[in-house]
């Protein structure tokens, strides 16, 4: 998915669809850390909406991407919510990335980003972590939180990066 499409989707959420959403995955890496990072979809977690149900907000997003680029729901990965919700107190580790009159896009702290990526730890995930740490600095990672969120073996793997 091209960087321009990711920005247009975020703009549509902030301007029209509304609600609070968390941006994750390759799309975040592409626009925040590495413009050359390829991604096929956009990983989003629906947080809440003042007026719309989760289903309505998600369907509005699907309708937008389908109408704008003939991109079906498979290009919007909402399954990442499962992994985010597995981490206690993840909400304290997000910050506003983009906002508009109707909605906000949040991004994860470096700690939350690393925890989510380390729990899967594919080669691409490890590269994304290295890229993010290279941009933000390891000192922005809360090791105490990572100890709570990662298994001992994943924590040791993280420390070796």
Q: What is the mean pLDDT of the chain?
A: 96
The pLDDT value recorded for residue 70 is 92
pLDDT in tens, 33-80: 987 888 999 999 999 999 999 999 999 999 999 999 999 999 999 999
Residue bearing tokens 């809360």: 142
> How far apart, in whole angstroms, are the C-alpha atoms of residue 103 and residue 155?
35
pLDDT in tens, 1-11: 889 999 999 99
Region 13-27: mean pLDDT is: 97
The pLDDT value recorded for residue 1 is 86
Is residue 89 a contact partner of residue 78, using CB atoms and an 8 Å limit? Answer: no
Quick one: what percent of the chain has pLDDT higher than 70?
A: 99
pLDDT in tens, 92-129: 999 999 999 999 999 999 999 999 999 999 999 999 99
Is residue 116 a contact partner of residue 83, using CB atoms and an 8 Å limit? Answer: yes
The pLDDT value recorded for residue 37 is 86
The pLDDT value recorded for residue 36 is 82
> How far apart, in whole angstroms, are the C-alpha atoms of residue 10 and residue 61?
10
Domain spans of the chain, in order of start: 3-159
């Amino acid at each position: 998915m091209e960087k321009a499409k990711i920005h247009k989707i975020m703009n549509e959420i902030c301007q029209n669809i509304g609600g609070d959403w968390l941006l994750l995955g390759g799309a975040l890496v592409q626009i925040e850390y590495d413009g050359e990072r390829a991604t096929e979809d956009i990983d989003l977690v629906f947080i809440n909406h003042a007026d719309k149900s989760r289903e309505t907000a998600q369907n509005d997003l699907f309708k937008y991407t389908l109408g704008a680029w003939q991109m079906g729901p498979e290009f919007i990965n909402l399954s990442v919510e499962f992994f985010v919700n597995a981490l206690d107190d993840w909400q304290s580790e997000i910050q506003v990335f983009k906002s508009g009159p109707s909605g906000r896009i949040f991004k994860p702290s470096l700690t939350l980003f690393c925890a989510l990526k380390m729990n899967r730890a594919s080669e691409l995930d490890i590269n994304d972590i290295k890229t993010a740490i290279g941009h933000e600095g390891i000192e922005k990672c809360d090791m105490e939180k990572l100890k709570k969120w990662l298994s001992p073996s994943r924590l040791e793997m993280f420390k070796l990066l």
